[in-house]
Amino acid sequence: MCLGVPGKIIEIDGVIATVDFWGVRKQVRLEVVDEPVQPGDYILNHVGYAIRRIPPGEIQATLALYEELLAHAEREDDLMAADVRGEIQGAGNDGR
């Protein structure tokens, strides 16, 4: 449970933002984040300071990255599969 938890900015007063985390609102300070932020932005919070603005498109991009990772591994797997199966049978175990 790392405290780098993302939340959504509701309002800003100077260097203090009111941020919503799943229905709980908390004040987070903005002296450290390196981009201008506004209400509606998602930020990453660590011990009461916003350390990063999370661009909205990044969630989908990361999920796509994981899909690609799986697909790539499967392709590799197909190529290696025959070799691996051969090795495993040679070694006489069930492969796990």
Partner 1 sequence: MAPSVLDERITLKYGAGGQAMRTLIQQVFVDGMAAGPPHVGIGLAAMDDGAALRIGNRWLVMTTDSHVIHPVFFPGGDIGRLAVSGTVNDLAMMGATDVLGLTCAVIIEEGFPRADLVRIQRSIRETCEEAGAFVVTGDTKVMGKGELDGIVLNTTGIAMTDRVIPDSGLRPGDRLVVTGTIGDHGMAVMARRHGLALEGDLRSDVAPLNRLVRQVLDSAPDAIVAMKDPTRGGLASALHEMAEKSRVGIVLEEMALPVTSPVRAAGELLGIDPVHVANEGKAVLGVRPDAVDVVLAALREHHLGRDAACVGTCTDERIGSIILDTGFGRRLVTEVEGEPLPRIC
Partner 2 sequence: MMAGNRGFDELKFRDPVRARALSDTLGRLTTAIGRSPVSIMHVCGSHEQAIARFGLRATLPRDLNVIMGPGCPVCITDVPEVDEGVALARQGVRIATYGDMVKVPGTVMSLADAQAEGARVDVVYSVSQAVEIARQSDEPLVFFATGFETTAVATAAAILGGPPDNFLVLSAHKYIPPVMEIVAEMPATRVEGFLAAGHAATITGWGVFEPFVARHKLPVVVAGFEPLDILAGLVKLVELIGERRAAVENMYPRCVTKEGNRRAQEQLWKVFRPIGGRWRGIAHVPNGNLRLRDEWAHLDARRRFDIDVAGLWDYAPRPLVHECICGDIMAGIKSPTDCALFGKECVPHSPVGACMVSSEGTCKIWHQYGGHPDLAPRSVTGGESGAVCAR
The binding site for partner 2 (CB under 8 A) comprises 1-2, 4, 6-8, 20-23, 29, 31-34, 42, 44, 46-49, 51-52, 54-55, 58-63, 65-66, 69-70, 73-74, 76-77, 80, 84, 87-88, 95-96
Residue whose structure tokens are 């290696």 = 80
**Residue 72 binding partner 1, by CB under 8 A:** no
Task: Report d(CA 23, CA 83) in Å as an integer.
Answer: 52
Minimum Å gap between C-beta 46 and partner 2 is 6
Interface of this chain with partner 1, residues 20 to 39, rule: CB under 8 A: 21-27
The amino acid that residue 5 corresponds to is V
Task: Report d(CA 2, CA 40) in Å as an integer.
Answer: 23
Task: Report d(CA 95, CA 31) in Å as an integer.
Answer: 52
